[in-house]
Amino acid sequence: MIQPTAWPAETVWEQVCPLLPDFTVEVLPEIDSSNSELMRRTRAGQYEPTLLVAERQTAGRGRMGRVWQSQPGDSLTFSLSLPLSPQDWSGLSLAVGLSLAESLHPDVGLKWPNDLWFQDRKLGGILVEAASMGGRSQVVVGVGLNIRPRDAQGLNTPPAALTELLPELTAPACLARVALPLIQTLLAFEASGFAPLQSRFDARDVLKGRRVHASDGQQGVALGVGPGGALRWQTELGEQDIHSAEISVRPLT
């Protein structure tokens, strides 16, 4: 286990080991992408539960091919690799977002399917990838959270920063807040899926009741999420479900 002094690696390791005895924590000063690295390890047959923190990412990835780069101190970027075999994967990114939001602040909202928002600005994002090899199923959950204000140039959504809500927050302190609850949420999701979390997500849903537009050109009113994690919305064609793999949705301004 690698433990730079500034990071609570040993504390996180001690908290999680009773749940995952083979768990390891690593903090790297620089890497292309923490998700890419853990996916490479999975393809190489390394299935140990691993939390990999990247102080700086040079080729970080978001959903639908978006770029997420990070600089030391400005953001918290980490990926978590776990052997996970839920009966239904639907709603996993929503469960991750809910866990993070509840660990951070009551005013952190959730934008379906994988963003954390504050005052209609993006605080962070989630990228979930899964691999199945040799009859084993592994999930890699990537998280990027803005700690300090960042430049909005080139971004589709203006950024927010967690220091607006928690002025003294640092990236290591943020990791200490979110790591254990996130792992507990993932293990609970494996057993029970998203349905038990639906009402808690609903309480933080920033899209519900708002007119939204989708990347395929449709418009409608968001009605909330269903028990499987799909976004329900009302369009000219009636009430429909949108699944996260299909299109992205944003509120109309």
Per DSSP, the residues of 87-156 read S--TTHHHHHHHHHHHHH-TT-EEETTTEEEETTEEEEEEEEEEEEETTEEEEEEEEEEE-S----TT-S
Q: Determine whether 122 is an active site residue.
A: yes
CA distance 113 to 222: 12
Give residue for tokens 């990114």: 93
CA distance 214 to 66: 17
Q: Determine whether 43 is an active site residue.
A: no
CA angle, 32 then 172 then 60, to 5°? 20
**Cis (ω within 30 of 0) for the bond into 167?**
no
Per 3-state DSSP, the chain is made up of helix, strand and coil in percentages (nearest 5) of 25, 30, 40
Q: Which residues contact 192 (CB under 8 A, 6 or more apart)?
A: none
Options 61, 63, 204, 208, the catalytic residue: 63
Options 41, 200, 211, 250, the catalytic residue: 250
Mapped onto helix, strand or coil, the DSSP state of residue 161 is: coil
Give residue for tokens 């899926």: 193
The answer to whether 223 and 208 are in contact (CB under 8 A) is: yes
**Polymer length in residues for the chain:** 253
Options 61, 122, 204, 208, the catalytic residue: 122
Q: Determine whether 210 is an active site residue.
A: no
Catalytic center residues: 63, 122, 250
